[in-house]
Structure 1
Amino acid sequence: MPRPTSSPPHIHFFFPFRISCLVFLSFLSHVAESQIQDQELQVLLQLRQSWRDPSSLAHWVASNSSSHCTWPEITCQGGSIAKLKLDNLNINYSIPSFICGLKNLTKLDVSYNNIPGEFPRALYNCSKLVYLDLSQNYFEGPIPSDIDRMADLQVLILAANSFSFDVPTSIARLRRLRILHLYQSEYNGTYPEEIFGLPDLEELRLEHNDKFLPSQLPQNFTALKKLRFFSMARTNLFGGIPETVGDMEALEHLNLAMNLLIGEIPGSIFALRNLSELYVYMTNVSGSIPQAVSATKLTVIELSFNNLTGNIPEDFGKLKNLSSLDLQFNQLSGRIPEGIGCLPSLSNVRLSYNNLWGTIPPDFGKFSALRLFEVAINNLTGALPELCHGGTLLGLAAVDNNLDGELPESLGNCSDLSIVLLNNNGFTGNVPGGLWMSPNLRTLILSGNRLTGELPEELSPNLTLIRMSNNRFSGKIPGTVSSLRNLVLFDASNNLLTGMVPTELTELPFLRSLLLDQNELSGNLPTAMGSWKSLATLNLSHNQFTGPIPTDFGFLPVLVQLDLSENQLSGLIPPEISLLKLVYLNLSSNRLRGRVPHELEKAPFEASFLNNPGLCASNSFTRLNVCNSQSHRLPRNLALILILAISTAIFVSLAAVFTVRASISGASTWKLTAFQRLNFTRSNILSELKDENVIGSGASGKVYRIMLNPSGDAVAVKRISNNQKLDENLEKQFSAEVEMLGNVRHVNIIKLSCCISCENYKLLVYEYMENRSLDHWLHKTKRLSLILGVANNMILDWPKRLQIARGAARGLCYMHHDCLPPIIHRDVKSNNILLDSEFNAKIADFGLARMLAHQGEAVTLTGIAGSAGYLAPEYAHTTKVNEKIDVYSFGVVLLELTTGKEAMGEEEDMCLVDWAWRHILDGKAISDAIDEEINNDSFLAEISNVFMLGIFCTMKRPSKRPLMKEVVQVLLKCSDPLYDIEQTSRHNLDVAPLLANPRHEEMPQSAHRLPRCNTF
């Protein structure tokens, strides 16, 4: 018999021993893990302490009940910290070196904080780091040239900091990089073309680095076969778009906006690939061609704000994945390709501000869910397509084209519509009834067409702005307008409306502007106006109203513009009208009688009462009958006093003139340097330097207006005097600057005709500007000097203000970007912006101007010069300046134009910039900051955009301010009602994040404790 088998004795011994070893090893592993966690906890607690215990990390405390792996900022793997997400925690201190005590850290995100200092080289010791995000902080200086020591990095995000100099070539040695974000910093050199050779790169973002040296798109960038997201917007690119862009097979997002690109968009770059393979496929299979065999994966194309010409390529119609196409603000011409309208994924179409012509392809909106469709300011003709088949359209802008026909009925079924801008076309017929009632509609602008029909009884309750002027609408204004509780502006002027102004219209609490002029309205004016607490502008002129002017008009608290002219109103002018703070009043061409209230006998209202035969006024209103001429004779003793005062003034003036003339005649030989062809001689100027010709004075001397001939030609002469002879260096510097400015030629820069100089005097002869300087028009304290001088109407309305802003911006833009070398003004302010007879703006007073050796290069000046309230912060503290100090000062001017306030207020610690920032920080409405003289809701969107541009121009960090060429672009397009804060942030005029994040460095540290203005 076989012998029974049994286990060897040593096996029985080893099995329990093996189990014991496993238990022991598990115990050791647990001990090791516990030690790692304790060590990591100590690092975290030390990290919190080094950051001065921010409140956002108050929960970082040692606890026996839970592990730090449960803290929301921390992700652990295998019991050890792998990821730290510390974004937006208000961290104000640098990253300490001991953070690399977290041995297994692979991801570190400290974005959206206030971390200062240079790039933290201490992170080189975090040996396992593959993801690093330092964006939206205050890091500065160069990116280290040895950054390639972080060899395992796959994601590097350094965007929105103050890194400067060149982007180092060493970044291109991080061969594992998949994501590289370097956008929105202060690089003032170049970027290495070698980064376009990184084999695994999927996202490359270099946009909004406007100090990069001008460059063309590198030829090798198309080697990035895995690149999905590519953005070089606003990076000083020039030249054309290379054909080879089409080789980037994985590309989904292409953004080259806001550059200097020229030429045509290559028609072949987005064409179908591998045509031979596609042909073989098509000839060997039956059935339809799958969309996957279509062209590229492109979903977004942004080429806006360039100088591209030619046609939109037909091949764009083959981009089956395209969701957003933005080609606005170029010089494109030709037709919109039919195929684009058939794209199945298309959501946003922005083609405004080009030279496109022809009809809009009829298939837009049929095959995709359109959300935005913008083709404003082109030369398009024909009918508007049925854009809202999918019912998803949010915004429509077709302003300023030649479109005609009836509006598509589908607009009446588009429940998501929020804004419709169809003004200045040739549309006819009735407005679809559903459009008036669209539940989300807020803005409806139909003015400047040939539309007919009546206002319906039911209107969308969310409407805030209705502009239907210059059409052929008829019928009565329905009483149901009382349901428009949010209505701010109602403009129905120049139509065929009849009937009375319904009482219900006076029940709208937020109505600010009501324009019903040039209609056929009749009856008495409404009397119950208790709800019109916000009404600022009321125009009922050119109608058939009868009866008296209601006294209730005098109790409208914010009314500043009132026009009741060209009606049949009768009776007295209610004295309550005098209680209003009017900036515009017109009661002319009625049947009013009696005396004009004394408080209304002001120069701005001189023409406000004409063609009312029954009205009379005092002597000061010579265009009306005088009520009682005897009552206005001067007392005899007062007349004597005036005669003596005038005699004394004449004596003093003559003495001054003789003194000046004696000084001038005793001077050495005068030298005349001409920069233009002159129609006067040196003696014409010298003989007229009389005090009666003085029109202004400043720190450097007086300014004279000198008439050259009886026909009214005049020049302005600025006399700069010095008690002692200028030394040779100053004389050369002065001559060089005068010669520089004499050679500047621009319609928005004051023309310097010649310089006349001697030992102690220098005369600069400029073209004469009839309307003086901007500050006299904006600031009430300075208007008295204009009453005797230049204009009848003292109110500077918004269209003129915008015209002035655009003109001054063009002048500065020319100085910064078109002069070689560039010129910075150094003293931009409202009283250095002069206005001609048509209110065209010209930059003047270059006494502080300096040439720059190279554009964007800072120049150190020996002293600080300029004007309080206008000085950029960096100028006041470092005296190192570039063009951005002019941008800051111009931002102050924009705030003056929109608010009417002076750059330096009466309070010592409060200047306009601080006031405006505080207004935004406190969450107040922009409309509350607007000058009451222009607070007309017809222009509210424009004024708000310019106000926010002023905010953006006055940011503390120069790199965050726009260039003057960008300022010009914004001012040119701010009239587009679709251009708002959202549109602004799309192009990095990024104000919106400031409003949402008070911790941002640009905002004052406290709403109650603001930094003092620079008053050096």
Structure 2
Amino acid sequence: MPKESTMQSYSALLYLILSLSILVISFGDDEQEKLVLSDIKAHWSSSPQLATSWDASTPHCSWRGIQCINGSVSQISLSNLSLSNTLPQFICNLSNLSHLDLSINNITGNFPTSLYNCSSLRHLDLAQNLLDGALPDDIYKMSSQLAYIDLSFNSFSGHIPPSVGQLQSLRSLFLHENHFNGSFAIELANLVNLENLTLSFNNFSNQRIPSEFGNLTKLKDLWIRGANLVGEIPEALGKLTELEQLDLAENSLNGSIPAALWSLKKLKSLYLFSNNLTGEIEVTTLGSSIEEIDLSMNKLKGPIPVEFGNLAELKILFMYYNQLSGEIPRSIGTLTKLSDIRLFDNQLTGVLPPELGKHSELWNIEVWKNRFSGSLPDGLCANGVFSSVVAHDNNLTGELPSSLVHCPTLNNIMLHHNNLSGEFPFGIWSAAVALQYVQIHHNHFTGSLPDKLWPNLTRLEINDNKFSGKIPSYAPGLRVFQASNNMFSGEIPSSFSGMSNLQILALAGNLISGPIPEGISTLKLLTLLNLSNNQINGSIPAAMGSLTVLNMLDLSHNQLSGSVPPEIGNLKFNHLNLSYNQLSGEVPLQLQSPAYEQSFLSNPGLCSSKFIVNLNICAHQSHGDSNNSRRLVAAVLVALAGTVLLIMVVMGAMKCLRRPKGPHLPSRESIYFQRVDFNEDSIVHRLTNENLIGSGGSGKVYRISLGGRANQTVAVKKIWNNKKLNERVQKTFEAEAKILGSIRHANIVKLLCCISSDTSKLLVYEYMENRSLDEWLHGFGSGRVESLDWQKRIHIAIDVAQGLSYMHHNCKPQVVHRDVKSSNILLDSEFRAKIADFGLARIWVEAGVPESASNVVGTVGYMAPEYHRYPLKINEKVDVYSFGVVLLELTTGKRAQEGGEYEGLAGWAARCLREGNKPIDNMIDPGLTSTDKIERVLQLGVECTNTNPLLRPSMKQVLQKLMDCDELNEGRRYSDVISLLQMKRLSQHQSSPDDGGEDNS
């Protein structure tokens, strides 16, 4: 054979051998990867989806969540598959793995350092798992190619190590919603390729924003909301020329807003709400891309910059709860994309921009509690989407724009306490099919109401206007109807079957005539009925006694006749007034009490068998018997008088003998905190058993009707102490009483005065007609009452949160309640909530008890764990814990002590959510229909009751989250858009620049 031919044969043989070797090696790698994936399947055997979709008889590159390049596994995406257990140590045996997404599972353990062996890893997503512990200090050993890390929604704690700054390829770093309580390293500023950085909702230790962050010039999203940031916003952030989203809200930042931020040309969203920012807003140059501005809940002053009128992309402008002054720039009204403007609770003046609504799809405007004048703009609904106008407590004048008649989307009208006049557009009642809330009281409107109102309408408050005509007979959704002090006439509708949801009906001060219809007894939810100052005649229907939750009834100043039905006496009234009528006969026995002595004035025909002021004694007996009785009573009275006189003489003589020499000291002292129309004697003389409404370990509570010009009702708490009290205790009590007496807040019960004697204190408060939240949630006595609907519950929660936020963040010195509970949350006639009982009783009763013991206060079920660990170091977070328990009561309907012997309601709820052994909608009060908002409030309750006080939110943060859950504030917080976008990333799993443009399809 020729030499050349032999060489060709050898070459062919060598090629064949090499090809077979490659095939064998490839086949071996393929099987090896399949074995690794099979081990992963066994490790996560609890996942039913993995068990059924990873079939060993099929190629592994076709398995669910697996993607390959050239037959080798490059991507694992197993999001939301109920994976439980730790991360497999051997996962990096997949040597070409570049993309790992295990988000939204139940993976446990510390940060998996086994991932250091994944040398090709570019994308790591472990968000929404159960990982905890500290991030390792040597995290820099991760792949040098790593561009994307998401560890959000886990339980990592400690600090963020400086070595993170060595991961130079990082473009996205998401660490929000963890338990970090140390610091975040300045070395993060070394990540010069970073485009997304989120550190929000962690409890860093009073961290300042490093000015070095100005070096992150590629940054697009910077999100550090609710992270205990302090100090000023660095001017250096003005160098972030690529920045699109900046969120530093819900922190304690102070100083002014750097002017350089406004010049960022790509900035779309700026969220700085809930800080302590001050000064005027200075704008030198203004970027043109800004879509959303939220500077609310700060201390900003001065005018709204006129340059804001040039923001052509602006959709959201929130600057409420500041101290802004001046006018709204007129050019803001011409912005073509503006949809929501909220500037309430400032000191703004002038008129509202007349072009508002004409050039954009405006849906909401909230400007209440300012000093605006002029009329409402007439083009609010020009683009057909307008929903809500809230402009109460201003100086607005003129008529309501007739264009609102052509606004079917209109949902909410709140214009009360203005000087608006003219006829209220009648067409609104038929055109605005979405209308739910109309509050226009205290204006000068005229007009009438239709006989039938839309079913969506739940609240109609038109009192103190000039409306006339007849009362509607059909409003099936209406819960509150207040139309007092108008000119309505005619009779009350004979049937209330079309208004069966009414809870408050106030028609006082009108021209209504005719009888009270028997059909009023169908209003089973009615708590307040006021028909006073009308021309109503006939008798009081006995069927009204079936209104079991009615606690306020005023029929005074009418022409009612006949007797007071005995059935009325079965009701538990907080307020009853039948005065100035023509009633006769004996008052029901249950109402023959000093508590009702002002309830029957100017009814000469009424009488009582007991001695009650303002009522005659009934003549039940014959004249002869009556004379004998009078003689017997007179004889007894004379004998008693003589005995009493003798005792007084003897006691007076003994007192004189014992009295030390020196000046005479008064037996009682009074401190008044409010202007009142009563004196201490009118209080003390009414502390009788008939007025007793409650008692506890420290004393008793009385309900006292004082009469007088104000016809005032007060609550008196009598607390006693038999110990000899020293001067320090007296001064402590008086000092705290003065602090509380000086607090002026709509959601804190007013302390009117304090009356002191040697052994007792009388604390006189304003009276709250609907008593405590505890009674409404858990029943009056042994009987369960009609439950509160969710709208009432969320408003109660917001009211209390506003009061606590004021105490914690606005009072100097700060006030910590230390005994927040549902029985200390009182409700007025319209279910507005106020916080009561600030521990003055504790100071008085526990005087002389060692300080370490007296500091452990509170109520079982509501007490934060730190009370027992270090009671001398507690702070305002104990109130946050207790309020969290109240939120759990409101959402679950359970008592604070329910949930087991050791864990209580807070522990039960946290365990249910942590272990997932009870679906969250099954935790909701059966009296409510589970919704996303109710579930969010329940989760907020669990967040507030975290056993670590550092991980609880502030009351300012809690308040904002509750406002987000209120249907009346729908869309209030657009600033969660970043979080939503990140969640969208978790579900889409699309290729991105972080993956190097790799084809994963």
The verdict on a shared fold, with TM-score over 0.5 as the criterion, is yes
Aligned to 2:34, the other structure's residue is in SS state helix
Return closer, same or farther for 1:741/1:66 CA change in 2, 3 Å cut-off: farther
State the partner residue of 2:41. Answer: 45
Tell me if 1:338 matches 2:330: yes
Farther off after superposition, 299-308 or 230-239? 230-239
Structure 1 residue 349, shift from structure 2 partner:
2.0
Distance 2:435 2:499 in 1: 18
**Equivalent of 1:353 in 339, 345, 357:** 345
Tell me if 1:162 matches 2:158: no
Q: Tell me which amino acid in the other structure corresponds to 1:119.
A: F
Tell me if 1:402 matches 2:395: yes
Aligned partners of 1:160 and 1:183 also within 8 Å? yes
**Equivalent of 1:202 in 195, 201, 208:** 195
Q: Tell me which amino acid in the other structure corresponds to 2:342.
A: R
The unaligned stretches of length 5 or more in structure 2 are: 267-284, 661-670, 672-686, 701-716, 744-756, 776-791, 828-833, 847-851, 913-918, 980-1001
Structure 1 residue 453, shift from structure 2 partner:
1.3
Tell me if 1:590 matches 2:581: yes
Aligned partners of 1:172 and 1:194 also within 8 Å? yes
Return closer, same or farther for 1:402/1:885 CA change in 2, 3 Å cut-off: same
Q: Tell me which amino acid in the other structure corresponds to 2:296.
A: S
Aligned to 2:350, the other structure's residue is in SS state strand
Tell me if 1:316 matches 2:308: yes
Distance 2:243 2:734 in 1: 51
Q: Tell me: higher relative CO, structure 1 or 2? Use CA pairs within 8 A at least 6 residues apart.
A: 2
Aligned to 2:163, the other structure's residue is in SS state helix
Aligned partners of 2:346 and 2:369 also within 8 Å? yes
State the partner residue of 1:546. Answer: 537
Matches within 5 A, 1:672-683: none
TM-score, normalised relative to structure 1:
0.68
Tell me if 1:106 matches 2:98: yes
State the partner residue of 2:590. Answer: 599
State the partner residue of 2:526. Answer: 535
Matches within 5 A, 1:630-645: none
Aligned to 2:445, the other structure's residue is in SS state strand
Aligned partners of 1:258 and 1:306 also within 8 Å? no
State the partner residue of 2:510. Answer: 519
Return closer, same or farther for 1:951/1:166 CA change in 2, 3 Å cut-off: closer
State the partner residue of 2:360. Answer: 368
Distance 1:846 1:586 in 2: 38
State the partner residue of 1:501. Answer: 492
Return closer, same or farther for 1:513/1:715 CA change in 2, 3 Å cut-off: closer
State the partner residue of 1:146. Answer: 138
Aligned partners of 1:252 and 1:299 also within 8 Å? no
Q: Tell me which amino acid in the other structure corresponds to 1:394.
A: S
State the partner residue of 2:615. Answer: 624
Distance 1:737 1:14 in 2: 109
Farther off after superposition, 74-83 or 411-420? 74-83
Q: Tell me which amino acid in the other structure corresponds to 1:427.
A: L
Distance 1:954 1:470 in 2: 44
State the partner residue of 2:466. Answer: 472
Matches within 5 A, 1:66-81: 69-71=62-64, 81=73
State the partner residue of 2:433. Answer: 439
Tell me if 1:748 matches 2:744: no
Deviations 1:824-879 (A, max 9, x none): 786666899999xx997544436999xxxxxxxxxx99998754222225656898
Structure 1 residue 311, shift from structure 2 partner:
2.1
Aligned partners of 1:264 and 1:311 also within 8 Å? no
**Equivalent of 2:604 in 593, 610, 613:** 613
Distance 1:862 1:47 in 2: 53
Distance 1:521 1:775 in 2: 26
TM-align CA RMSD: 5.8
Structure 1 residue 498, shift from structure 2 partner:
1.7
Distance 2:839 2:946 in 1: 23
State the partner residue of 2:206. Answer: 213
Aligned to 2:561, the other structure's residue is in SS state strand
**Equivalent of 2:27 in 24, 31, 39:** 31
Return closer, same or farther for 1:967/1:96 CA change in 2, 3 Å cut-off: same
Structure 1 residue 527, shift from structure 2 partner:
1.9
Structure 1 residue 609, shift from structure 2 partner:
2.9
State the partner residue of 1:181. Answer: 174
Distance 1:736 1:96 in 2: 65
**Equivalent of 1:574 in 559, 562, 565:** 565
Count of residues paired in the alignment: 837
Q: Tell me which amino acid in the other structure corresponds to 2:319.
A: L
Aligned partners of 2:61 and 2:67 also within 8 Å? no
Structure 1 residue 885, shift from structure 2 partner:
2.9
Aligned partners of 1:807 and 1:842 also within 8 Å? no
Q: Tell me which amino acid in the other structure corresponds to 2:157.
A: S
Aligned partners of 1:380 and 1:402 also within 8 Å? yes
Q: Tell me which amino acid in the other structure corresponds to 1:204.
A: L
Matches within 5 A, 1:956-975: 958-959=949-950, 961-964=952-955, 966=957
State the partner residue of 2:216. Answer: 224
Aligned to 2:176, the other structure's residue is in SS state coil
Return closer, same or farther for 1:219/1:65 CA change in 2, 3 Å cut-off: closer
**Equivalent of 1:256 in 219, 233, 248:** 248
Aligned to 1:382, the other structure's residue is in SS state coil
Return closer, same or farther for 1:913/1:521 CA change in 2, 3 Å cut-off: farther
Farther off after superposition, 300-309 or 453-462? 453-462
Tell me if 1:460 matches 2:451: no
Tell me if 1:489 matches 2:480: yes
Return closer, same or farther for 1:775/1:925 CA change in 2, 3 Å cut-off: same
Deviations 1:784-832 (A, max 9, x none): xxxxxxxxxxxxx9999999986676556689x957xxx9786666899
Aligned partners of 1:264 and 1:309 also within 8 Å? no
Aligned to 1:190, the other structure's residue is in SS state strand
Aligned partners of 1:848 and 1:865 also within 8 Å? no
Distance 1:848 1:44 in 2: 64
Deviations 1:655-695 (A, max 9, x none): xxx9xxxxxx9xxxxxxxxxx9xxxxxxxxxxxxxxx9xx9
Residue identity over aligned pairs, in percent, reads: 36
The unaligned stretches of length 5 or more in structure 1 are: 1-7, 275-292, 659-664, 666-675, 677-691, 704-713, 723-733, 752-762, 782-796, 850-859, 930-941, 991-1016
Distance 1:610 1:945 in 2: 51
State the partner residue of 1:297. Answer: 289
Structure 1 residue 553, shift from structure 2 partner:
1.9
Return closer, same or farther for 1:772/1:200 CA change in 2, 3 Å cut-off: same
Distance 2:581 2:226 in 1: 57
Tell me if 1:769 matches 2:760: no
State the partner residue of 1:563. Answer: 554
Return closer, same or farther for 1:18/1:464 CA change in 2, 3 Å cut-off: farther
Distance 1:948 1:182 in 2: 20
Q: Tell me which amino acid in the other structure corresponds to 1:172.
A: G
Structure 1 residue 213, shift from structure 2 partner:
0.7
Distance 1:214 1:411 in 2: 49
Deviations 1:146-193 (A, max 9, x none): 222223332323334433333322222222222223333333333233
Q: Tell me which amino acid in the other structure corresponds to 1:445.
A: Q
Structure 1 residue 978, shift from structure 2 partner:
3.7
State the partner residue of 2:319. Answer: 327
Aligned to 1:166, the other structure's residue is in SS state strand
Aligned partners of 2:773 and 2:822 also within 8 Å? no
State the partner residue of 1:760. Answer: none
Q: Tell me which amino acid in the other structure corresponds to 2:213.
A: F
State the partner residue of 1:124. Answer: 116
Structure 1 residue 377, shift from structure 2 partner:
1.9
Distance 1:176 1:272 in 2: 25
Aligned partners of 2:240 and 2:264 also within 8 Å? no
Structure 1 residue 42, shift from structure 2 partner:
0.7
Return closer, same or farther for 1:64/1:56 CA change in 2, 3 Å cut-off: closer
Distance 1:954 1:985 in 2: 26
Q: Tell me which amino acid in the other structure corresponds to 1:885.
A: V
Aligned partners of 2:362 and 2:381 also within 8 Å? yes
Aligned to 1:748, the other structure's residue is in SS state helix
Farther off after superposition, 535-544 or 599-608? 599-608
Deviations 1:327-371 (A, max 9, x none): 222222222223333333322322222222222222322332223
State the partner residue of 1:707. Answer: none
